[in-house]
Amino acid sequence: MILADEIRAFALKQYVGPVRRTNTPHTAHVTIVSGNIVPDMKLRQRTPAVCSAIDAQRFQDDNGIQLLQRSGPQVAQPPVNTAGLSARGR
């Protein structure tokens, strides 16, 4: 598994999954701080890789979410992504 896939899997398990299980689709939102994933996954100097993996359209499509807002610098700590979950959630 490539690093981007590992990051997306981690974000799905740690952020999207718990929100999806406890909220109603269309009203649920999940906030992912890319800067938090780096230490949580024990990555080092990988913030740009985390940002790219989380910002990717593939992450949205594969997990039935839509990026609603992105704040912070393009590739620096701590960008924040807020996504809405769709009814077709996994």
Is residue 65 scored above 90 in pLDDT?
no
Q: Is residue 58 part of a domain?
A: yes
Q: By percentage, how much of the chain surpasses pLDDT 90?
A: 30
- 3-class secondary-structure state, position 28: coil
The number of helices, as runs of H, and strands, as runs of E, in the chain is: 5, 3
Q: Is residue 90 part of a domain?
A: no
Q: What's the rounded mean pLDDT across residues 26-47? A: 86
Q: Is residue 51 part of a domain?
A: yes
Per the CB < 8 A criterion, the answer to whether 56 and 8 are in contact is: yes
Q: Is the entire prediction scored with pTM above 0.75?
A: yes
Per the CB < 8 A criterion, the answer to whether 8 and 73 are in contact is: no
Q: Is residue 45 part of a domain?
A: yes
pLDDT for 24 equals 67
pLDDT for 66 equals 84
Q: Is residue 8 part of a domain?
A: yes
Residue range of the domain that includes 22: 3-85
Is residue 81 scored above 90 in pLDDT?
no
pLDDT for 86 equals 54
Count of domains observed in the chain: 1
